[in-house]
Amino acid sequence: MGQLLDEAQADAEAAHDAYTAGRPRGPITGLACLDRELGGWLQPGLHILHSNSGTGKTALGWQAVTTARHPAVFVSCEMGALELLRRLTARATNTYLGRLKSGELPPAAARQLYERGVASAPHAYLVDATLAYASPDYLLEVASLAKGQGADFLLVLDSLHSWVEMLPDERASEYEAINEGLASLRLLANQLVCPVLVIAERNRSAMKDGGINAGAGSRRIEFGSESVLSLDRKGKPGPTGSVTVEMVLDKNRHGASGRTITVIFDGATQRFTEVDNG
């Protein structure tokens, strides 16, 4: 245990420097209430995000990556790169997503909006894993290049189940593939000393109500994670299409579990914003 003293002192110095400077020690989600409940920042390790469909899981992960003030990588196994660019542009320029698809914008005007979207996320990297399997070794290589020598780094994977579906070993069952994938992602987080936010599917029985055991396929989804965050829509969309979403921290190793945080998700601009959570 004595061999850990120097490491513990270095950690205490880093914590004190961040505290006195009034800055987080590492990556954050950008939603102040959520970050505060998580201990002020996303600790290294796996963080699980799950919900029913249409609640904004991808949007939340993409927003965290594209608003980060440090290198961050988004690995998309479901949504193509161009659609993610549209969604970034919608949020960054406050342009309704539908206008970027309808053809009503002159190409030159659309190009200007896209350029503004790209410029708003200078530290973001996108891996399009819809075209080929992104192996753990490949992700480590890409993430290491993106991180460079900096201390702060975030990786978001969307989603766990779509990623493991592309495993080269077709003999593996879903249970085995998910467990293998989780072990690889946990090792990746340890190698990079960073948080890995993993978007997961829910099992059918928990599709509506969520909960800590809602992750589909394996109990290791919740047991091996630092936090488990559940999103659920509440009520009907408002006049502009925005909807209230409740975030529940079903598991939280760095704060209180069971806390509920209310946010607004505006699908038209792909933006999450906070409301007064007391």
> What is the pLDDT averaged over residues 173-180?
90
* Domain at 146, CATH number: 3.40.50.300
Condensed to tens digits (0 to 9), the pLDDT of residues 186-204 reads 999 999 999 999 999 887 6
- In-domain check, residue 235: yes
- In-domain check, residue 162: yes
Residues 6+ apart with CB under 8 A from 143: 73, 153, 155, 188, 192, 194
- In-domain check, residue 112: yes
> What is the pLDDT averaged over residues 76-87?
98
What is the per-residue pLDDT for 277?
A: 67
What is the per-residue pLDDT for 171?
A: 65
> What is the pLDDT averaged over residues 117-141?
97
What is the per-residue pLDDT for 168?
A: 81
Side chain identity at residue 131, one-letter code: L
Structural domain boundaries, residue 145 = 27-274
What is each CA distance from 93 to 52, 104, 225, 274, in whole angstroms? 28, 16, 34, 19
What is the per-residue pLDDT for 278?
A: 61
What is the per-residue pLDDT for 219?
A: 85
Number of domains composing the chain: 1
- In-domain check, residue 145: yes
Q: Is 64 exposed, middle or buried, given 0-12, 13-18 or 19+ CB atoms closer than 10 A? A: buried
Indicate if the pLDDT at residue 169 is higher than 80: no
Q: Is 268 exposed, middle or buried, given 0-12, 13-18 or 19+ CB atoms closer than 10 A? A: middle
What is the per-residue pLDDT for 174?
A: 86
**Among the ranges given (12-21, 153-162, 172-181, 233-242), the one the predictor scored with the smallest mean pLDDT:** 233-242
Name the average pLDDT for the chain: 92
170 or 4, higher pLDDT? 4
* H or E element at residue 135: none
Beta-ladder partners of 45: 195
Beta-ladder partners of 47: 197, 227
- For 93, the token pair is 């320029």
Indicate if the pLDDT at residue 269 is higher than 90: yes
Indicate if the pLDDT at residue 52 is higher than 90: no
277 or 73, higher pLDDT? 73
Is 25 in contact with 13 (CB distance < 8 Å)? no
Beta strands in 9-98 (DSSP E): 45-51, 72-76
State how far the Cα of 198 lies from the Cα of 176, in Å rounded to an integer: 17
- In-domain check, residue 185: yes
Sorting pLDDT into bands at 50, 70 and 90, what band is 29? very high
State how far the Cα of 245 lies from the Cα of 14, in Å rounded to an integer: 34
- In-domain check, residue 21: no
Condensed to tens digits (0 to 9), the pLDDT of residues 87-119 reads 999 999 999 999 999 999 999 999 999 999 999
**Among the ranges given (162-166, 172-176, 215-219, 252-256), the one the predictor scored with the smallest mean pLDDT:** 215-219
Condensed to tens digits (0 to 9), the pLDDT of residues 204-214 reads 665 566 677 76
- In-domain check, residue 12: no
- In-domain check, residue 124: yes
Sorting pLDDT into bands at 50, 70 and 90, what band is 275? confident
